[in-house]
C-alpha cells in the first residue's frame, strides 16, 4: 500500500481547485498527464482538436439515451454496433433539417493525434493513438480534511477520506493551520481510508487537521 508524502508545492486557481507542481510524465493509459507532456504531444503529433461529444462509451445508437436531437455528437471509441457498424473510431453527429435526411447520423473520420473532449467524462481528453482512443487524464486532485481531537491517551486514529486511491499527499496541522510539532505516520489502509499514528498522544482537547489530496 503506497503512501506518498511529497511535500509538493500547491496553489489554488480562481475556482479553488488544487494544483500540484512537478508531476512526473504519465507512463501508461489512465495516468494523470502534466501540462508540459500534453503540450509536447500536441506539438509533436500535430494534434487536432475536435468539437466535444456527449459520450465516448456508447458504441451502438440503440444505447443513446432518450431521443437524439440535431447536433448530438458521440465518439465511437471502439467497434461500432447496430446502425454504427463499420464506423469504428469515428465521430458521429445527429443531423436534421431541410438539407439533410430527417434523423440522419453523419460520420467524421479522425486521424492520428485528433483530440476529443466528452461532456460525460471531464477527467481528461481522448487522443487517437494509432487505431485506439486513449483517455489522457488531467492532473487534478480531490481534497478531504480529516479532524482528530486528542484525549491525552489515544495515539492511533482512522480517517475515512473517500478519495478512491492509496496514493495521496497529506499534511498535519493545528486548528489554526500551523504545522503540528509532533508529526505522526500516515499509512493507507485501503483506497478510502488511512491510519494516523502518533508517538505521543495529542493532548486532551487539542484539535488536529489532516488534509488529504489525491
Domain positions in the chain are: 43-138, 141-213
- The label of the residue with cell 465518439 reads 75
pLDDT for position 108 = 86
Nearest-10 Cα torsion for 4, 7, 9, 11:
70
DSSP state letters, 37-102: HHHHHHHHHT-EEEEEESBSS--SGGGS-S---TT-EEE--S---GGGTT-TT-EEEEE-STTS-T
Residues paired with residue 136 on neighbouring β-strands, in sequence order? 125
Residues 176, 46: Cα–Cα separation, whole Å: 50
Question: Which cell numbers in the block locate residue 194?
Answer: 488511512
pLDDT for position 148 = 95
Supply the pTM of this predicted model. Answer: 0.46
Contact 188, 160 (CB under 8 A): no
What are the pLDDT tens digits along the chain (214 aa)?
444 444 444 444 444 445 566 667 777 666 676 656 665 665 555 555 567 888 888 899 889 888 888 888 999 988 999 989 999 999 898 887 655 445 688 888 887 778 888 888 777 788 888 778 888 876 666 889 999 999 999 999 999 998 888 888 888 888 887 878 888 999 999 989 999 999 999 999 999 999 888 7
Question: Which cell numbers in the block locate residue 190?
Answer: 485501503
pLDDT for position 18 = 53
What is the Cα gyration radius of the chain?
24
List the one residue out of 71, 139, 56, 60 whose CA is nearest residue 104. 71
Contact 97, 33 (CB under 8 A): no
Amino acid at each position: 500500500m503506497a503512501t506518498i508524502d511529497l511535500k509538493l508545492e500547491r496553489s489554488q486557481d480562481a475556482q479553488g481547485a488544487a494544483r500540484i507542481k512537478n508531476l512526473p510524465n504519465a507512463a501508461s493509459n489512465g495516468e494523470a498527464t502534466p501540462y508540459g507532456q500534453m503540450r509536447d504531444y500536441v506539438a509533436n503529433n500535430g494534434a487536432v482538436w475536435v468539437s466535444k461529444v456527449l459520450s465516448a462509451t456508447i458504441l451502438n445508437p440503440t444505447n443513446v439515451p432518450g431521443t437524439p436531437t440535431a447536433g448530438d455528437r458521440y465518439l465511437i471509441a471502439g467497434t461500432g454496433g447496430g446502425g454504427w457498424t463499420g464506423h469504428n473510431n469515428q465521430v458521429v453527429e445527429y443531423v436534421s433539417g431541410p438539407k439533410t435526411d430527417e434523423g440522419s447520423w453523419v460520420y467524421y473520420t479522425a486521424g492520428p493525434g485528433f483530440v476529443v473532449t466528452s461532456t460525460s467524462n471531464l477527467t481528461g481528453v481522448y487522443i487517437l493513438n494509432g487505431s485506439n482512443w486513449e483517455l489522457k487524464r488531467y492532473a487534478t486532485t480531490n481534497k478531504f480534511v480529516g479532524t482528530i481531537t486528542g484525549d491525552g491517551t489515544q495515539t492511533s486514529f482512522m480517517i475515512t477520506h473517500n478519495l478512491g486511491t492509496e496514493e495521496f499527499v497529506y499534511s498535519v496541522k493545528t486548528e489554526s493551520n500551523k504545522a503540528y510539532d509532533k508529526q505522526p505516520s500516515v499509512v493507507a489502509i485501503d483506497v478510502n481510508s488511512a491510519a494516523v499514528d502518533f508517538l505521543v498522544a495529542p493532548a486532551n482537547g487539542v484539535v488536529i487537521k489532516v488534509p488529504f489530496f489525491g
